[in-house]
A and B are shown apart, each in its own frame.
Chain A
C-alpha cells in the first residue's frame, strides 16, 4: 500500500516542483502561459523566459538533485552507515578547490572568456582527482575504514587550500564574491550549455546504478557475507565508487557545492519506504530532483540573499531533526 503510493507521489511532487520552477521568478507566469511557452506558442517574452532561462535552470537542478541523492544512497550502502554522504571521499572539497583555483588564476591567465566551460571542467577534475587520490592513498586493500580516514584527511587538506585562496583574494572583491557564491551552490544563470554538460552523463550514471540495487542490499549488510552469497564485492565496490564520484562531480560542476541533499533525501525516503536499494535508488533520484527544485524556488524569493546550498541545509536540517525525533 505504502510502497505503491511511493512512485506516484514522488513523480507528482517532481512534476509540481518542475512546473513551479518554470512559473515563478521575477516574472510570474500562469500555468497556461508556462505550458504554451513550453509548446513553443504564446507571447515571446514568456517563451524566452521559460525556454531560455527557467527550463535549463530546472533541468540542471533536477539532474544535480538526482545525482547527489543517488550518490548519497551509494555511499551509505558502501560504508554501511546511514550517515555517510557523497562528499566523504573528497569529491566536493576537490570540486571546490578546482573551481576556486580557476576563479583565482583565471583572470590573470585570460580565461575569463572561457569560464563557462573552465569552471565546471576544473571543478569536475578537482572532484575526480580528489577521489582518485583518496583511493590511491588508501592503497590496494581499500577497506572501508581506511578509505574513510583517507577521505577525512584529504577533505581537510583540500579545505585548507580553498580557505587559503579565499583569504588571499579578499582584496579582489569581484573574484572573492564569485568564489563564495560558487562554494554555496546555485542554479542562477544556468544555460543550455550547463544542461548538456551535466544532464546526459548524470542520466547515464543513474541508469547504470539502477541494476546494482540488489547487490547493494547484500553489501549493505556486510562485505564478507555479500561475497560469500555470490556478490563480486571487489567489482561492485569499484562500480559504486566510480558512479558515485562521477555523479557528485558532475552535480558539483554544474551547480557548485550543494550540501545535505545526499544525506537528507536518502534518509527521509529510507524511513518512509524501507531500505531496499532496488526501490530506494529510483526514489532518491526522483526525490532528490524534486527537493533541489523546491529549494531553488525558495532562493528565488530572496534574490542575491539566499544561496541554494544554504537553503538545502536550512530546509533539510530541521526536517531531518524532526524525522529523527519522530516515534517509529
Chain B
C-alpha cells in the first residue's frame, strides 16, 4: 500500500505524545478534540514546522531527506490564525503559494476562484474580514498544488455557505488523489470524513472510520458531552 503521510512515535514534549498514524492518498482526514488537545501541534509537527521526536514520512520518504523547497511543493499547511501585517493585495498573497515553484503563477487564478476571492483579488489583505483572511490562507495553500494539505481549523470563522464550500473543496481535492488533514470542532462535519483522529490531552485516543470512532462513549469521555444521533437541520450546497 502506498502511504501519503505517516508518523511513528511522533511527539512534541509537553504537547503531544507518541502519535503513530498512516494516511493514504485520497484520504479525507478530520482531527478533532477539545481545546488544547494538541490538534494544531499535530498538524505543525506533521508539516515539519516544529522540533519533534519520532519519525515523519511524506510519500514514504523521511522528512529529513526532503529539501525545504521540495517540502513547499509536496505539503501545504494553513495556519489557524490568519493575520497579515503588511498590505499585500490578496492576489499577491495567494501567489506566494508558488514560491517553491520559482514563482510561476499556475493555478493562482483558479485558487482565487475556488475560494470565492476573485472579486477581492486586488484588495489589501489587511482590509479583509476574519473569514475572508482565512479563505486567503486556504487559497494560498491550494495554489501550491501540493498533494498533501494540512488545514488547521479552516472553517471555524466561515459563514455556513463558505464553510460548506471549503469542505466540498476538501472532498474534491481527495478525489484527485490529494490527502487532506483538517482539524475541526464540528463533530457533525467530521462524521462525513473518511477517517477521524481524536486527540485528548496530547494523546491520540481514536483513529478510524467516523462511525467506529465517534461513538457516544468516546465523545462523553473526551469532550464530556452527551451525544445522541437524531435527525436535525442539515445544511447542504444546492447541486448544480
Contacts and interface: CB of A to CB of B under 8 A. Distances in A.
Contacts of A224: 44, 49, 77, 79
Contacts of A229: 72, 76, 96-97, 99-100, 140, 144
B83 A222 contact: yes
B21 to A, nearest CB: 19
A217 B49 contact: no
Interface residues of B, number: 32
A36 interface: no
A19 interface: no
A230 B77 contact: no
A82 B44 contact: no
A230 B99 contact: yes
B103 A275 contact: no
Interface in B143-187: 144
B44 A221 contact: no
Nearest to B126: A275
Contacts of B88: 217, 221, 274-276
B93 A221 contact: yes
Contacts of A193: none
B68 A227 contact: yes
A217 B76 CA distance: 18
A7 B103 CA distance: 23
Interface string B19-51: 000000000000000000000000010011100
B49 A81 contact: no
A162 interface: no
A80 to B, nearest CB: 5
Given A81-B85, A228-B49, A230-B71, A221 B96 contact: yes
A217 B68 CA distance: 17
Nearest to A274: B87
A228 B71 contact: yes
A231 interface: yes
Contacts of A276: 88, 92
Interface in B54-92: 68-73, 75-77, 79, 83-89, 92
B131 to A, nearest CB: 18
A220 interface: yes
B102 to A, nearest CB: 10
B96 A217 contact: yes
Interface in A243-300: 270, 274-276
Contacts of A270: 86-87
Contacts of A232: 68
B87 A230 contact: no
5 contacts: A218-B96, A221-B93, A225-B79, A228-B76, A230-B69
Interface of B: 44, 47-49, 68-73, 75-77, 79, 83-89, 92-93, 96-97, 99-100, 103, 125, 137, 140, 144
